[in-house]
Amino acid sequence: MTTTALPHPTRRLTPAPPPGDLLDTPKFPKSVKRYLGNSQLRANLRHATGTIRAKRARVTAELSNWEQLRQAGEAIKNRTARHLDVYLEQLEANLIANGAQVHWASTAAEANRIVVDLVKAKGVSEVVKVKSMVTQEIELNEALEAAGVAAWETDLAELIVQLGHDRPSHILVPAIHRNRSEVREIFLQEMKLYGRAAPKDLSDNPPDLAGAARAHLREKFMRAKVGISGANFMVADSGTLVVVESEGNGRMCLTLPETLISVVGIEKTVPTLEDLEVFLQLLPRSSTGERMNPYTSMWTGVTPGDGPQEVHVVLVDNGRTKVLADPIGRQALRCIRCSACMNICPVYERVGGHAYGSVYPGPIGAILTPQLRGTASAIDQSLPYASSLCGACADVCPVRIPIPELLVHMRHRVVEERKRKHPGLERTIMKVGGWIMGRGSRFGAVEKLAGKARGILRKDKLGPMPWPASPWTNARDLPLPPAQSFRDWWKSGQADNPFVSSQPAEEARP
Amino acid sequence: MSKSDILARIRNSLIDVTQDDPVLDVPVDWQYGQATAVAEPIELFIERVIDYKATVVRAASEKDVPRLVAEGLAQAQATSLVVPAGVDPAWVAQAAQAGVELVQDDPPLSHQRLNEISAVITASVVGMAETGTIALDHRGDQGRRELSLVPDMHVCVIRTDQIVTDVPQAMARLAPSLRQHQPVTWISGPSATSDIELSRVEGVHGPRTLHVIVVG
């Protein structure tokens, strides 16, 4: 990755994120190396994912109908996706009837342009933001920065990430890779540059750190004229948007500003208000492992005399309609962004979110990102392989996305595309393999030859080998074939066939 | 235009869908609005609200509310209280006698003014026992959304007949409000975060003290 320092003609309004583009992340096996060696990161992640896993397991076990809820969630989301055009038009009509203005964006660039224009029209130089995955995905903050508008993240973890010149590494707890003393350092150094300073004697106690964030952000909430949010759900039959949160920063951004702009992926639609009873049980228990998150806000366009009197909703495609075209792949669009899959994933727990080179890390990211972005880059081609296919993610998914099945499906797509572009080594190996295995005499001869390797090398397994074997052998030991092949052993007559035991089975038991 | 482009792409992507009726195309095997079997919903509600580190006091009847309001405010050393227009004036009479300044939201209070007030009192519309959640629909006795957000203490009065067992029953009660375009806020304990090492901290941006008075 090249990190050319760009000259800044004007000072930035908000802390700069790390240089480079997520899409330039090297392929996954290469990118993990950087993180596996960071023992602090691994300790932070082990502690955090372990805690949240235990909480989730406890509160999901409390509900006797949990499995029925998951099935209902799956069915409602399937129903929505399979008739998305109908529901989106219904949603738009209801939003407009309730005083909201609806905008449609095909791409990230178009969504950013719409938001920037709306913000500029208000003549403001800053906005407050509720944590939102889709605005991360379209990199809205940087688009606003380029237009001379400061976007302040108000979720505690997003604030830690923003002030830390960092990127989120988790969709629910974006600063999961940071521990309390790192957070304290960031607050002490950075808060004073962008607003109210942290107290000089700030401790690393989480309540004190949360208190510093409260004081730092309060003045920003009080003066903000424009708020920007996402939404967890959009209800087609009423035009209601729903934001689920914990800290109250969401309520602040949704209520205090005069103008509210909600940027939402089109797949966030649900058909009816009643459907919320399913998702508002599934989501909090799966994500934070609570019976209910502290605050849930529901609003329907403009409420006269209460909250923002100018309400915009930007409906974002940015690759989602492409995902929808694949009947297997489209199951990933059921995702409600709970993060249970990454919390339970043995790969995520060890490497963290940054290795995935996407705002959506972990198992869901490995199937969603290459579908949204396509598989042109090295990282996107490798993401479907960022898994041992253990299946724990599918077991915890509240909308029953068969993640391992989708990983295999995406691997297939990557291989097919590669084959189309350059029918290279893999195909040659398969052809040679097919020729050898096509006749018993050829196979026997190769077995004999391979058996000799053990004697020559005086080893019973192979460690890392040079390319082209390196992708396999760098991560695994390759056992050498035994000195005598099965065929030879069988022919030799020494076979003491275990299936035809001379002793009666009963007597063989201890 | 992007709207027609997006809708056209969706329709092209869904050529495998041949049934036009979404309900027939994908059946949803779920009974909406069902009550959960909870033996003592009011006791469970109180237990679960306390679990979130809120304080809960019980009023035998509406007559006890003024005393419990005054005591709760005194305990939190609150000196001023926002009273939405629809709140029963009797609820706050004793607190006023004890010297708490009562503030009306008429004309609407500015953000800054609201930020200087110690507490707010609201009624509520529904309580959910299984999750310990209180819902507001921001009508007259609850006030606009900002009132129950900016002050650092929220005194919330809920009647036992407003407490249902679970989320589905609550949604059934709230749907009419939402269909009349009322905003709705669900509150489960005081503001909280688990963003630092997943350790839960009560009190970030929303009210750090939630004081619930259960009447009946």
Task: Tell me whether residue B19 is in a domain.
Answer: no
Question: B205 with A252: CB under 8 angstroms?
Answer: yes
> In angstroms, rounded to a whole number, what is the distance separating the alpha carbons of residues A295 and A250?
8
* Closest residue in chain A to residue B25, using alpha carbons only: A79
- Nearest by CB to A321, from B6, B27, B197: name it: B6
Task: Tell me whether residue B30 is in a domain.
Answer: no
Side-chain-facing half-sphere of A434: CA atoms under 13 Å? 6
Question: A358 with A303: CB under 8 angstroms?
Answer: no
Q: Is the peptide bond before B168 cis (omega within 30 degrees of 0)?
A: no
What was the pLDDT predicted at B38?
85
Task: Tell me whether residue B18 is in a domain.
Answer: no
pLDDT in tens, A149-192: 999 999 999 999 999 999 999 999 999 999 999 999 999 999 99
Which residue type occupies A324? L
- Using only C-alpha atoms, chain A has a radius of gyration, in whole angstroms, of 27
Q: At what angle do helices B65-75 and B89-97 cross, to 10 degrees?
A: 50
Positions of chain A with pLDDT lower than 50, given as ranges: 1-3, 501, 505, 507-510
Put simply, the answer to whether B193 touches A156 (Cβ < 8 Å) is: yes
* Contacts A51 to B, Cβ<8 Å: 197-199
B101-104 β-sheet, strand order:
B55-59, B209-215, B153-159, B119-122, B80-83, B101-104
In b/e form, how buried is each residue of A160-193, taking b as 16+ CB within 10 angstroms?
bbbbbebbbbbbbbbbbbbbbebbbebbbebbee
A vs B: CB pairs below 8 A: 255
DSSP-assigned beta bridge partners for residue B121: B155
| ipTM of the complex as predicted | 0.97
The domain locations on chain A are 19-53+341-422, 63-318, 427-491
Q: Which domain holds residue B120?
A: 38-215
Q: What is the CATH number of domain A63-318?
A: 3.40.50.10420
As a three-state string, the secondary structure of chain B is CHHHHHHHHHHHHCCCCCCCCHHHHCCCCCCCCCCCCCCCHHHHHHHHHHHCCCEEEEECCHHHHHHHHHHHHHHCCCCEEEECCCCCHHHHHHHHHCCCEEEECCCCCCHHHHHCCCEEEECCCEEECCCCEEEECCCCCCCCHHHHCCCCEEEEEEEHHHEECCHHHHHHHHHHHHHCCCCEEEECCCCEECCCCCCCEECCCCCCEEEEEEEC
What was the pLDDT predicted at A277?
98
What was the pLDDT predicted at A1?
44
Task: Tell me whether residue B198 is in a domain.
Answer: yes
What was the pLDDT predicted at A510?
45
Question: A281 with A63: CB under 8 angstroms?
Answer: yes
* Closest residue in chain B to residue A87, using alpha carbons only: B22
CATH number at residue B184: 3.40.50.10420
* Contacts B16 to A, Cβ<8 Å: 327
* Contacts A266 to B, Cβ<8 Å: 6, 10
Task: Tell me whether residue B151 is in a domain.
Answer: yes
* Contacts A180 to B, Cβ<8 Å: 196-197
Q: Would you list the DSSP string of A212-229?
A: HHHHHHHHHHHH-SEEEE
Put simply, the answer to whether A288 touches B3 (Cβ < 8 Å) is: no
**Å between B216 CA and nearest CA of chain A:** 25
Q: What is this structure's pTM?
A: 0.91
pLDDT in tens, A283-320: 999 999 999 999 999 999 999 999 999 999 999 999 99
What was the pLDDT predicted at A508?
45
* Percent with pLDDT over 90 in chain B: 92
Hey, is A452 helix, strand or coil? helix
Question: B163 with B42: CB under 8 angstroms?
Answer: yes
Question: A211 with A217: CB under 8 angstroms?
Answer: no
Task: Tell me whether residue B204 is in a domain.
Answer: yes
Tell me the average pLDDT across B24-29.
97
* Contacts A290 to B, Cβ<8 Å: 188
**Å between A149 CA and nearest CA of chain B:** 22
* Closest residue in chain B to residue A176, using alpha carbons only: B197
Q: In chain B, how many domains are there?
A: 1
Task: Tell me whether residue B98 is in a domain.
Answer: yes
- Could you say which DSSP state residue A436 is in? H
Tokens of B128: 């959910």
* Percent with pLDDT over 70 in chain B: 100
Helix or strand run (H / E) with residue A381: helix A378-382
* Contacts A213 to B, Cβ<8 Å: 204
Put simply, the answer to whether B10 touches A84 (Cβ < 8 Å) is: yes
Task: Tell me whether residue B46 is in a domain.
Answer: yes
What was the pLDDT predicted at A15?
96
